Chains A and B, each alone.
Chain A
Amino acid sequence: MTSELEQELKHLIIDTLELEDVTPEDIDPDEPLFVEGLGLDSIDALELGLALQKRYGIKLESDSDETRHHFRNLRTLAALVEERRTA
């Protein structure tokens, strides 16, 4: 079951990272976003961090264990936005 916020984040990921061949249905909320699963890279992590800042006002440390945890999959990302959004 995908929440409204998860759906919104799927679109944010696809648009921000220019994933031209990926549809929202392709992103499994429990699969890894980085390296495995969706296969995003370190530049994508920076780009996604910037998008979260712009859209939700969330600031993250770029290379902390905490950020690694938040970026694990779509569910952890949605939990982060839920908890920390200011916009």
Chain B
Amino acid sequence: MTTPAMMYVHDWRAWQPGRRDMSQPRLSVAEKPAGSHVPAMLRRRLTGIGRALCDMLAELDANADCPLLYASRHGDGERTLEMLNTLAEEAPLSPARFGLSVHNAIPGVYSIGRGNRRTQQAIAASGDEFAALLVEAQGYLAQGEPTVIIAFAEQAIPARFAAHFTTPIDTAAVALRVSLTPAHNAWALTSRPLASDDTAEDSPQPSDLIDWLCGTRDELHCHRPRQAWSLVRAE
């Protein structure tokens, strides 16, 4: 039995530095992404992951007119910790670093750099970021938005907090252009309920999404809503 598609993935881009290159043209493994789609005076304030996202978003949304839903559980943990340490020493904070410490910093710089004035959301969902992104995207699509970009980015946890995580988080970012309209070469995204035994111990990270998008993993198992998602290539 075929489940109706939740939505269609029309294209995607991903970045994971140091990942073994599987000659996948949609995946960048560059240690230092260029960020060339954003003017240099804005780009200078972005770290590698911000630059990678700007490159990916510019390719997925060439006209810069799609709503952007961005999710990250932890944001920039290293810089946040650095600022907390500075505060603990009662030293003044860098205004530029403080200005970019908000959760929507990367989408904000991207939207200024590309002139995208559409809706943007920055989500943190205690580990269920991918599920939250899909729910939000369904909402926008159901309201009549023809195309939505969803992006999920995570960075390695600072060493000081690593002991609190059972599995390490790989620095990676992924962005998908989704729509309710099927198309040649689009993937149908379906979901199915899972028995609790099949539920993953950890929620999917951006690096897991990359495995799934590259086809090295069939299903992406979600931790809390007990669901699995699949991609089916259109005939």
Interface residues of A (CB under 8 A from B): 17-21, 39, 41, 43-44, 46-47, 50, 53
Contact = CB atoms under 8 A, between A and B. Distances in A.
Nearest to B43: A20
Interface stretch (B9-17, B91-99, B158-166): B91-99
Interface in B58-108: 92, 94-96, 99
B99 A20 contact: no
B95 A47 contact: yes
Contacts, number: 26
Contacts of A20: 40, 43-44
A50 B95 contact: yes
Contact of A50 (B40, B43, B94, B99): B94
A43 to B, nearest CB: 5
B22 interface: no
A18 B61 CA distance: 28
B41 A39 contact: yes
Contacts of B45: 18
A43 B108 CA distance: 15
Contacts of A19: 44
Nearest to A53: B92
A18 B94 CA distance: 12
A53 B95 CA distance: 14
A44 B92 CA distance: 15
Contact of A21 (B40, B92, B95): B40
A43 B95 contact: yes
A20 B96 CA distance: 15
B46 to A, nearest CB: 10
Contacts of A41: 41
A18 B96 CA distance: 10
Given A50-B92, A50-B94, A43 B99 contact: yes
Given A18-B44, A21-B44, 13 more contacts: A17-B44, A18-B45, A18-B96, A19-B44, A20-B40, A21-B40, A39-B41, A41-B41, A43-B95, A43-B99, A46-B96, A47-B96, A53-B92
